[in-house]
Amino acid sequence: MKVLVTGGAGYIGSHTVLSLLENNYDVIVYDNLVNSSIESIDRVEKLAGKKVEFIEGDICDKEKLSKVFEQFTIDAVIHFAALKAVGESAQIPLSYYQNNVYGTVCLLEVMQQHKVHNFIFSSSATVYGEENDVPYVETMKLGTPSSPYGASKVMVERVLGDLAQSNSNFRGVSLRYFNPIGAHESGQIGEDPKGIPNNLLPYVAQVAVGKREKLGIFGDDYPTKDGSCERDYLHVMDLAQGHVAALDWLNRHSEFSGVEAFNLGTGNGVSVFAIVKAFEKAIDKKIPFEVSPRRTGDLPAFWADANKANKALNWQAKRSVEQMMADTWRWQSTNPNGYLV
Ligand code: NAD
Ligand code: UDP
């Protein structure tokens, strides 16, 4: 089976490409490298001992995309390509709607033209918005996220729903990721943010390696056990395997048409303080931090009800917080400058 992976050079994409190759899928990566490096693909090829077809291109470029579908017989598309910085999305919302919404529409149009109907979308826990109670369950209504980034994910989920209504051949899966962290256990691939990291783990890892002075913990007065926010952190390799499980599910359910959402998380909330402690334990060193003001838009706590994915996809997040920390550190300490070699 041939799978087109948009955004496959990025953090989650590269780990998923490795899992796909290990499960005997052929992979074509389509990525404009706006937030990634081709080096990730080279390393994935070495780890898998297999080749990946790489095409540099933008998902908004329908002509180029069309050529890819003409050149290869594609069975399914896994769509990671998007901009993902929550804060930045409030500064340049139009770029987010252009890339994440219009880009997805372009991709879906080209897929329709070439009669490719299997589609897996990188959605996010952010689609539950501010109004739903935790844990989040797929039966809940889509919410109202506070950022343009979150709104772009809700919009795409709506687009997929409408497309499925209009086209009985469409077979879509929305995977709602919680907080992916960690790296492949080899330490060869991992998360390589450009500039100052927005997310917790890359920031902690850069403090540990001496690139940043100290971590700011955004608020210790939330209504949680220790006052800091709680999130459902899952290992990126578990998440990668969730995509393989979703593809297998589509293959097993040849009668399925429509669009189905699955939460991918562990089902547990872990606080910022607990993450810092776990990282300190993994590296046997203190992480300097200070408590700073709350970050606008942060919710106190959310985690997944992952029962649907556990049962239907036969998938479970298996790796522990300890392993997430150890693997993050292996990647960060052996690649202090990420893919810049
Ligand atoms: P990433 O930035 O590492 O990967 C995204 C990839 O898409 C990059 O390689 C980038 O170069 C590429 N890309 C961006 N715009 C493109 C365009 N217009 N055309 C072609 N390629 C383009 O991000 P990631 O963390 O791997 O996230 C992958 C997906 O998962 C995104 O859709 C993101 O919104 C979603 N997601 C991520 C998280 C997270 O915490 N990392 C959580 C929930 C959902
Ligand atoms: N966080 C923090 N300091 C940082 C980055 C993040 O305290 O430098 C906190 C943030 O407030 C949130 C949690 O860590 O409660 C996870 O944030 P991240 O941006 O990684 O993911 P989010 O859940 O916001 O998508």
Which atom of ligand 2 is closest in space to residue 218's alpha carbon?
A: 7
Alpha helices in the chain (DSSP H): 11-22, 39-48, 62-71, 86-91, 93-96, 103-113, 148-166, 200-208, 236-252, 272-283, 307-312, 321-334
Q: For 131-139, what is the mean pLDDT?
A: 97
Mutate to test the pocket of ligand 1, among 30, 77, 80 (most ligand atoms within 8 A of CB): 80
Q: Evaluate: CB of 298 within 6 angstroms of ligand 2.
A: yes
Q: Evaluate: CB of 253 within 6 angstroms of ligand 2.
A: no
Structure tokens at 143: 């919410």
Q: Evaluate: CB of 80 within 6 angstroms of ligand 1.
A: yes
- Which residue minimizes the CA distance to atom 43 of ligand 1? 124
DSSP codes joined into one string, 73-119: ---EEEE------HHHHHHSHHHHIIIIIIHHHHHHHHHHHTT--EE
- Which residue minimizes the CA distance to atom 14 of ligand 2? 200
- Residues carrying an active site annotation: 149
Q: For 278-290, what is the mean pLDDT?
A: 98
pLDDT of residue 21: 98
pLDDT of residue 39: 98
pLDDT of residue 90: 96
- Which residue minimizes the CA distance to atom 17 of ligand 1? 58
pLDDT of residue 314: 98
Q: Evaluate: CB of 84 within 6 angstroms of ligand 1.
A: yes
Tens-digit pLDDT profile for residues 26-47: 999 999 999 999 999 999 999 9
Which atom of ligand 1 is closest in space to residue 126's alpha carbon?
A: 43
Q: Evaluate: CB of 180 within 6 angstroms of ligand 1.
A: yes
**All domains of the chain in start order, with CATH:** 2-181+234-264 (3.40.50.720)
Average predicted confidence (pLDDT) for the chain: 98
Q: For 168-193, what is the mean pLDDT?
A: 98
Q: Evaluate: CB of 242 within 6 angstroms of ligand 1.
A: no
Which atom of ligand 1 is closest in space to residue 81's alpha carbon?
A: 7
Q: Evaluate: CB of 302 within 6 angstroms of ligand 1.
A: no
Whether pTM > 0.85 for this model: the answer is: yes
3-state helix, strand, coil in the chain (%, to 5): 40, 20, 40
Q: Evaluate: CB of 179 within 6 angstroms of ligand 2.
A: yes
Which atom of ligand 2 is closest in space to residue 231's alpha carbon?
A: 23
pLDDT of residue 272: 98
Q: For 128-157, what is the mean pLDDT?
A: 97
Q: For 66-78, what is the mean pLDDT?
A: 98
**Considering every ligand atom, which ligand is closest to the CA of 226?**
2
**Rounded to the nearest whole angstrom, what is the distance from the C-alpha of residue 224 to the centroid of ligand 2?**
15
- Which residue minimizes the CA distance to atom 19 of ligand 2? 199
pLDDT of residue 154: 98
Tens-digit pLDDT profile for residues 78-116: 999 999 999 999 999 999 999 999 999 999 999 999 999
Judged against a pLDDT cut of 90, whether residue 300 lies above it is answered with yes
pLDDT of residue 145: 95
Tens-digit pLDDT profile for residues 256-265: 999 999 999 9
pLDDT of residue 20: 98
**Rounded to the nearest whole angstrom, what is the distance from the C-alpha of residue 265 to the centroid of ligand 2?**
16
Judged against a pLDDT cut of 90, whether residue 341 lies above it is answered with no
Tens-digit pLDDT profile for residues 227-281: 999 999 999 999 999 999 999 999 999 999 999 999 999 999 999 999 999 999 9
Under the banding of pLDDT at 50, 70 and 90, the label for residue 190 is very high
Determine how many CB atoms are found less than 10 A away from the CB of residue 203.
Answer: 20
Across the beta sheet with 258-264, what order do the strands follow? 53-56, 26-31, 2-6, 76-79, 118-124, 171-177, 258-264
Judged against a pLDDT cut of 80, whether residue 129 lies above it is answered with yes
Q: For 279-308, what is the mean pLDDT?
A: 97
Contact 212, 290 (CB under 8 A): no
